[in-house]
Structure formats: C-alpha cells, structure tokens
Structure 1
Amino acid sequence: MDVQPNKNTLENEEYQPPQVVSFFALVGFVITGLMGGIALVNQTYILATTLLFVSCVFFIAFYVFNKYHNIALSSAISLYSLSFLMLYLVFTGGVENTGPLWIYVVPPVSLFFHGLKRGLVETILFIAACAVIMFVPTDFVPHAQYSLEFKLRLIYSFLTVTFLSALYEYSRDRAYHYTLELSQKYQQLAHMDSLTQLSNRRDALSILKREQSRAIRSKEALSVILCDVDYFKKINDLYGHNAGDAVLIELAKIFTQNIREQDCVARGGEEFLFILPGTLAENAYR
C-alpha cells in the first residue's frame, strides 16, 4: 500500500518557523551590535561588552541555522541569549534605568519559538527572575533601584502582554492544526475512492509506476490483476444504486482482507485493479 508521511513528522517540519528563527537571530546580531557600539562610544564599557557578547551569541545562532539547519538549537540560543540580556538590563538598569522597558519582547518570542506550553513556562520563569532581581534588597545584592509603583506596573503590564501573546499563539496553533488536518483530508481524498476507501485511479497509476521502476531496478517479478464485476448493471437496475454500492463496499472489504501488506487494490467503477509486487504471474493467477 502507499505509505503516507508520518503526521508528527509533518507537524515538526512545517510548524517550525525556520525563516523567522534565522531572521530574528540576524536582526538580534545587528541591533545588539549597534547598541554595543553606541555604548562603547559613550564609554559605558560594561554595557558595551555585554551587548557585543550577546551580539556574537546571536551571530552563532544565525550561523548554526544556516550551517547545520538546526532550528531547535538556533531558536534556543537566540531566546536564551535574549533572556540573559533582558535580565542583565533589569539588574543594571541599562541607560538611565530604562533597561526593563525591553523585557516585553520576551513573551511573543518565547511563545512563537517554543509553542504555548513551553513558552508560557519560560515566560513565567523569566518574569519570576525579574521580580527576584527587582525586589531583592540592595543591601544584600547591589542592583538598579526602582520605585515600588514602577516594579508593580512593570510586572502587571508584562503579564498582560504575556496573556495577549498566549491568546494569539493559541489561536495560531488552532488555525495551523485545522489547516493541516484539512490539507491531509483533501490529500487523502485525492488518492482514495470515497465509497470503498480503496486507492483510486490516480493513486493506482502512481503506485504502479513506482513498483514498475522498482521491479526493473531489482529484477523482481511484478503482477497486475484486473477484476471486473460481471452483470453489475443488473444489480443497479433490479435493486437500485444503494444495493450496488453495498456490493462494491463488501467486495472491497473482502479484497482488502485477502491481500498482503505490500499489495495494492484500487477501484474504478465496477472494476478493481490489483498490484502485486514480487509476485510471479502463476502465483497471481492462483
């Protein structure tokens, strides 16, 4: 029978956003590199060093994707380097304590790269780390100081952005899987007879060409059987088309139960075509 691609394989290949991952890594490399250069000109050397380091990490993510086509590793490097940079800006305050204003890019990126469940977990851990940094006493760990109102509003607004990003990701995920199922359904209908669930003429011709090429290449036998239901028109005339359909369905069940796994049976009207790989003519006749 014709082997269809594994559903999980299709999802993993198609749902991953490779172009977005590569583009995000490239943009991250350019932007953090420029900001690092500006910080270097302004003689804020620690900030400049951090930004340039993260810029190099973004470039590594871009290189990993284009060299090895490893989407999972490239997206992980991009996201975690972004999270590290955001935590650093929260800890140091960035330029005039405006560093925390950048953290809103984390929820949509995390949810888009890693999906709803994993993305939410990563986002919650990130904002928890931010809260620990901001609320820990400066006497215990020296860090940038923020007012209580600023910290609370930052967390509230971040959670709001996270909720909206999660809602969008949920809708996007539902739409994707609905489209995938619909595509697979139409693909199946294009290669299957809707009445008997056997291969249709198009699918049978495709399988026949493939098996013919394989038989020539491996020098193995290939047999084909054409089965015609005699006097089928009388069944329709005497008992109606519903009875004729029932006959075809029962015949299809009998044929399916009596062929091997590597065989194929297809239907065209009241005719059935059997494709039997690795089978001599005399064995096909029996």
Structure 2
Amino acid sequence: MHEYSDNTERKLIVRLFSSVGFTATFVMACIALINSDYLLSAVLFSSSSVYVLALSLHKSVEKSTSIILYNLYVLMFYLVVTGGVEGTGPIWVFIVSPVTYSIRGLKRGTYDITLFLLFIMFGFYCAEFFNIHHYNPTEFPSRIILTFIIVAMLGGFYEYSREKYNDKIIALSQKNELLATIDPLTSLPNRRYTMGKLEEFKYSLSREQTPFILILCDVDNFKK
C-alpha cells in the first residue's frame, strides 16, 4: 500500500471507501430486488456485506484494503460477464483505477490495474464464449477496454505527479525541521532540540521511576 505520512490517514481512507462501497452496493441491491433481478440483488447484497467486513477491520489496514479492492474487482468481473442491467454493467469498471491508485499508490496500483485489465478482458471473452451476454454493438467491449486503458493512464500520471509533489513537501518539511534544531554556527543541536530531547528523557525515566542528574556547564567566550 502507498506509504502515507500518518497511519490515521490510511485508516480514514479505509473507512471512507468501505462506507461508500457499502452504501452504493446496498442501494443498488435494493433497486435490483425491486426490479425482480434476484441474482444481481444477491450479488450486490453479498458485496455490501464484504464492505461491512472491511469496515470492521479498519484497524488492520492491509487486510481491509485488500478486501475492499478484491471485492470491487470480483463485482466488476461479474458485471462484465453478465452485462449488469441492460448491458450497462461494464461502465462501472472506470471507478477501479482511481480507487486502486488511491489505496495502493503508483507502483502497486499499476500492477493491480494491469491484472484487472486482463481480468475484464477474460470476462468479456467468457460472456461471449459461454453465451452469457451478447454486447450490442459488438465493438462495445473493445471500446470499454480502450477507454479503461486511457483512464488508467491518466490516473497513473496524476498519482505520479501527486507522489512527487508529496515527496517534495516531506523533504522540505524535514529540512526545515533540521534547520530549526541545529545551530548554524557550530552545526550542533541548539537549545530547542536539547530541551525537546530532555523532555523525552525525563518522561521516559519518570515512567520507570528512575532518578537522574542533569549537569550544565557554560563555556566562556565560546563564540569568539
């Protein structure tokens, strides 16, 4: 998964995608049930329950993200093979690339999206070969695949730019933090750094109830 600066942010992303995934699939499952499409309704209800599972495991980020993505991939494969509602199911595959890049980052996301692309190509083949669903026009699957590739490439370019910008921000922040704690004349830790470390040291020893002694010394005319 992409390395976020704060683990809390990663958990927030998991909760967000789990909540959105559950809401969307549950609502569509209810609509399918009203329209007497019982198979699609059952699949969507199952998918929504998986998102609830991911939401309950949000503290385990890696497990939750894998559940979210693979549940999404399986659902998209089903929609490609069966055509969904009146053959519009494959249109939903376009949400895969932004969700994947948001969760996985650039490198892992590109790998997952490539596998997913092969996955849906196989799904279109199965739909035709096993007479599960016939797309009209016949060029519809190839257009979906081509458009998906374009959208994925744009998403990858955006993720690349975002990660580069984020790396620059982190590097600048670390540089400023270093400059704020180092004396420019001697390149030694300054008073701010020393007091911070002293507070950490004091807190650590107080928890262990260990006494300590602090010795201070002053060098006359040090900067002359």
The TM-score normalised by the length of structure 1 is: 0.70
Q: Which residue of 2 aligns with 1:199?
A: 189
Does residue 1:143 correspond to 2:135, yes or no? no
Distance 1:150 1:157 in 2: 11
Does residue 1:175 correspond to 2:165, yes or no? yes
Cα shift at 1:92: 0.6
Checking the alignment, whether the CA contact within 8 Å between 2:127 and 2:133 is kept in structure 1 is no
Checking the alignment, whether the CA contact within 8 Å between 1:104 and 1:161 is kept in structure 2 is yes
- Runs of 5+ unmatched residues, structure 1: 1-9, 234-286
Distance 1:98 1:222 in 2: 73
1:196-248 per-residue CA deviation (whole Å, 9 max, x = no partner) reads 22111222223334445666731234333322346x64xxxxxxxxxxxxxxx
Checking the alignment, whether the CA contact within 8 Å between 1:82 and 1:106 is kept in structure 2 is yes
Does residue 1:219 correspond to 2:196, yes or no? no
Distance 1:11 1:23 in 2: 15
Checking the alignment, whether the CA contact within 8 Å between 1:16 and 1:71 is kept in structure 2 is no
- Runs of 5+ unmatched residues, structure 2: none
Higher alpha-carbon Rg = 1
Moved more, 210-219 or 80-89: 210-219
After TM superposition, list the pairs within 5 Å mapping 1:114-153 onto structure 2: 114-136=104-126, 138-139=128-129, 141-146=130-135, 147-153=137-143
Cα shift at 1:77: 1.1
The structure whose residues are more often strand, as a share, is 1
Distance 2:8 2:115 in 1: 25
Checking the alignment, whether the CA contact within 8 Å between 1:211 and 1:222 is kept in structure 2 is no
After TM superposition, list the pairs within 5 Å mapping 1:89-100 onto structure 2: 89-100=79-90
Distance 2:108 2:12 in 1: 21
Does residue 1:228 correspond to 2:220, yes or no? yes
Distance 2:134 2:92 in 1: 17
1:87-111 per-residue CA deviation (whole Å, 9 max, x = no partner) reads 1000110001100000000001111
Cα shift at 1:18: 2.9
Select the residue among 28, 32, 42 that pairs with 1:39.
32
The TM-score normalised by the length of structure 2 is: 0.88
With over 3 angstroms needed to count, the CA separation of the structure-2 counterparts of 1:186 and 1:70, relative to structure 1, is same
Q: Which residue of 1 aligns with 2:152?
A: 162
